[in-house]
Structure 1
Amino acid sequence: MVGNTHPYTVDDWIENISLAYRHEIDAFALNVGPEGWQKQSVDNCFQAARLSGLPFKLFLSFDMNAIPGQVEDDVLLLRSYFEAFARHSHQLRYNGKPVVSTFAGQQCLFGCADLDAAWTHVKRTLEDVAPIHFIPSFFIDPRRYPHIHSMDGYFNWNGGWPIHLTPDSPRRDVELPELDTDRHHIHHLGGRTFMAAVSPWFFTHYGENSWNKNWIYRGDDWLYVRRWEQLVAARDTVDIVQIVSWNDFGESHYIGPIKGAQPKSESWVDGFPHTAWLHLTRSFARAFKTGTYPTVERDEIYMWARPHLKHADATHDEAGRPEKWQLTDDKFWVVVLATAPAEVRLATSDLEGEAAAERSYPVREGLTKLSHPLVARESMKATMIRDGRVVAECAPERAGFRVQARPRTYNFNAFVATSIPSI
């Protein structure tokens, strides 16, 4: 989200690019809006990619919920961006052409009669500069794809979450919600490029006095891991994976560091690190690219949870409880990477001499997914034991995390922790 990078210098961009590259991320999709300063930030990003010395790529994703697209000349902003960066050595190319994407845009007709005519106009205008490979994220029925010839592919942004769930959906403790929309898009694309989404979470909490966005998508059931496993298994039919997101703090699905500007989201973001998810990304991204999961070389524990129970009443929250809050479960979620079989003990407290509601689970070599009930006023803890010796431990209470009984404001963001001392 370039809109969250207002304070960034070139050095800040280099730091982010280097961090992403170390975790097997190959490119940034640069979501840009209409503000003039964003173009300078994009320029800084391209400079940073060159100065980093890394083979890291970048491409533009026009945020058409913010950028005007009603009259023919609205295309000139998109062209000005493309003219500035299309020929850059760090521009991502697919089939030899610069990649261009969007967030939304199905409502933007640029003075034309229909969607395909509108984006054919955009595409022709950009191709006055250079040929493009256009992979938008239009929120439309996939059955329309065969009639939209301007698209070279499609980005299934909504595919990262089980968004078809409603608060009235059947109980979810029998089977996990399916993440099953990709096949429908791929079928109707007819061989064109398919970009899939993977995302760890979703919570946004803006009241009526700002952006009026206040809801969750279900991020339970080890969502990030399950979705990655699905994409690795389907790698023969998925061309590109986009992680949503690196730094969209307002929607709580960031995996990068909390850095830069925030869109009035401090109350549910500050103090809630997600970089453990970034570290977890490395093995899945490598598996997607190579077809083989890397060997687990170190015992590791990852875990995450909300800071209060879903029925908790906030004492001072003008925005109110988020929509779809009923979709989540009062659990903390644990992913174990073990070098050999071991025992993992989960508990809700880390007080000296006390471990409330402790449960023990055998785990195999490799990856195991576990969960444990959340308890108000307590925390979460996981310990991996092998041959009577602790080989990994994750105790977020030591970093100040505890499940609140009466939160001041609603916060359905996740606190994400890992046993790794430094990431």
Structure 2
Amino acid sequence: MELFSKIKSRMHAGKPSMSSSVLHSAANSDRKVFAHYMVGITYGQTQAQWGHDVNTAKEAGIDGFALNIGPSDHYTDIQLQQAYTAAEKAGNFVLFLSFDMAAGEWPVSRVVSLINHFKESSAQMTVHGTPFVSTFEGPGWAENWFSVRMQTGGIFLVPDWSSLGPYGVGEKLDLIDGAFSWDAWPKPGQTRVASTEDLIYKHTLNGKKYMMGVSPYFYTKLPQWNKNWYCPSDSLWYDRWQQVLEIMPDFVEIITWNDYGESSYICDTVPAQVVEGADKYVSDYPHAAFRAVLPYLIAAYKAGSTQIDYLGEDTAIAWYRTTPAMAGEDGDTKCGQGGSESAAEGTKDVVSVMAITKGSTSVTVAIGGHEKVFRTKSQIPISYFEMPFDCNMTGLVTLEMNGKTTRGPWITNKCCDGQVNFNSVAIQV
């Protein structure tokens, strides 16, 4: 039985600020939700852009950014300072350093210097008074953390060593204070994401903190980095949050805020951040609508129970590809990293819909002249629906609920350069 069928909704009318009223029932929770922010694509970024990102994330109920940094970008220090300044100014928004160990070799002195420089910031995420620190990979660097702890006066280390798997991480518990899992997408051969590894992590960590990765989507096609795969994402945003509310990890990290190259972004698109090659599948493919459901989901997670008050208006989002999977060549895109089957075989031609409603209401999806009406149930405030389409069913996409209508990009049979774009667009009503 799905978790959301158990939710006892006590929703009321009105439209409060997402950053305060919606989250009131979870204000004292130790659970936090972060978003993974790629600092390496922020060359020349302004203070104003950092301020916009921080405030936009706050409005969605996100508590802070995990600042992913590499060892060689000369602009890292400038951008980190701007990020911390923006977070300090906004208030009630935290940051922590996430050292990308797959991007190059990190000198211990550099890691120590960065932690010490920012640890006194009012925006620094701390646990038990020590700065929270994470990584992307780096199990081979593990023994260096002893020295880092000594030279910084202590850290709270929650690395992502997903390459080891949960059992491998369990063999290094003396080095860490918790673990972060990057396992947020279906594996090759799977059509929906599983929570098996999350449960193993929680057991293996033996009481240490667990940070669970959650993502809305995945598609990458960057030949210069030998990256060309899609992970089934038709119901991913819904499925993964349902698993969060079942597992109730200590922390959640949304993967990602702004990784356009992997189509996992939920931010307002910033063209200057889009890496070369990704513009072909990111331009005109907004993902900001994924954030619309976050205030409710985060409030439920922080409360540790789905029995919470939600003071917002009914909302619905939809995400979909703008061409059928067989409308063009697959571009040799595989289904899953290391997968062998075509991405076209691992996805469905559907408009995916996630709705949050106070009671029973109708949600209408239309593609050209084809229309389908879904009905939410008063006992189930979070609903998920799919409207199939194919090469004979194209046209303008509309999403309607409670008298409000949003128009999305057309579904067509025309593919750029004859190849299918496996990224999605997201819209909200």
- How many correspondences in the alignment? 372
Aligned to 1:387: none
- 3-state DSSP of counterpart to 2:269: coil
Larger radius of gyration: 1
Aligned to 1:310, which of 316, 321, 325?
A: 325
Cα distance change, pair 338–332 in 1 and its aligned pair in 2 (3 A): same
8 Å contact from structure 1 (residues 306, 403) kept in 2: no
SS at match of 2:164: coil
Q: Match for 1:135 among 149, 158, 181?
A: 158
| Contact 2:293/2:315 (8 A) holds in 1 | no
CA distance in 1 between counterparts of 2:324 and 2:134 reads: 38
> Residue 347 of structure 1: CA displacement?
2.4
Q: State the Cα deviation string for residues 331-388 of structure 1 (Å, max 9, x = none).
A: 1101122333223333211xxxxx22x233322232221111123442433333xxxx
Amino acid at match of 2:399: A
Task: Specify which of 225, 231, 254 is matched with residue 244 of structure 2.
Answer: 231
- How far residue 92 of structure 1 moved from its aligned partner, in angstroms, is 0.3
Q: Deviations for 1:35-92, whole angstroms, at most 9, x for unmatched residues?
A: 121121011111111222x1111000011110315xxxx2222122112212222110
- How much has 1:293 moved relative to structure 2? 4.2
* CA contact 1:374–1:403 (8 Å) conserved in 2: no
CA contact 2:134–2:157 (8 Å) conserved in 1 = yes
1:200 matched residue in structure 2 = 216
Deviates more, 1:247-256 or 1:328-337: 328-337
SS at 2:207 equivalent: coil
> Percent identical across equivalent pairs?
27
Residue pairs, 1:102-181, within 5 angstroms:
102-106=135-139, 108-109=140-141, 119-138=142-161, 139-148=163-172, 149-158=174-183, 160-163=184-187, 165-166=188-189, 177-181=193-197
RMSD (CA atoms): 2.0
Structure 1: tracts of 5 or more residues without a match: 110-118, 350-354, 385-389
Residue segments in structure 2 that go unaligned for 5+ positions in a row = 1-37, 336-342
Q: Which has the higher contact order (CA 8 A, sep 6+)?
A: 2
Distance verdict in 2 for CA 1:273–1:123, change over 3 Å: farther
TM-score in terms of structure 2 length: 0.82
Quote the Cα distance in structure 2 between the aligned partners of 1:177 and 1:49.
33
Match of 2:282 in 1: 269
One-letter amino acid of the structure 2 residue matched with residue 382 of structure 1? L
Structure 1 CA distance, aligned partners of 2:157 and 2:220?
A: 29
Question: CA offset at residue 321 of structure 1?
Answer: 3.0
Residue 7 of structure 1: how far off its partner (Å): 2.7
> 1:418 is matched with which residue: 406, 423, 428?
428
Residue in 1 that maps onto 2:403: 391
Change (3 A) 1:157 1:346: same
Match of 2:350 among 331, 334, 337: 331
Equivalent residues in 2 for 1:22-421, closer than 5 Å:
22-34=59-71, 35-52=73-90, 54-69=91-106, 74-106=107-139, 108-109=140-141, 119-138=142-161, 139-148=163-172, 149-158=174-183, 160-163=184-187, 165-166=188-189, 177-207=193-223, 210-221=224-235, 223-235=236-248, 238-259=249-270, 260-264=272-276, 265-290=278-303, 291=305, 292-295=307-310, 297-314=312-329, 320-324=331-335, 325=343, 326-349=345-368, 355-356=369-370, 358-365=371-378, 366-376=381-391, 377-384=394-401, 391-396=403-408, 400-408=409-417, 409-419=419-429
Contact 2:193 2:240 in 1 (8 A): no
How far is 1:200 from its partner? Answer: 0.3
Cα deviation, residue 4, structure 1: 1.7
2:16 corresponds in structure 1 to none
8 Å CA contact retained: 2:292, 2:317: no
Q: Distance in 1 between matches of 2:176 and 2:288?
A: 34
Aligned to 1:352: none
Q: Is the 8 A contact 1:216 1:322 kept in 2?
A: yes
TM-score by length of 1: 0.83
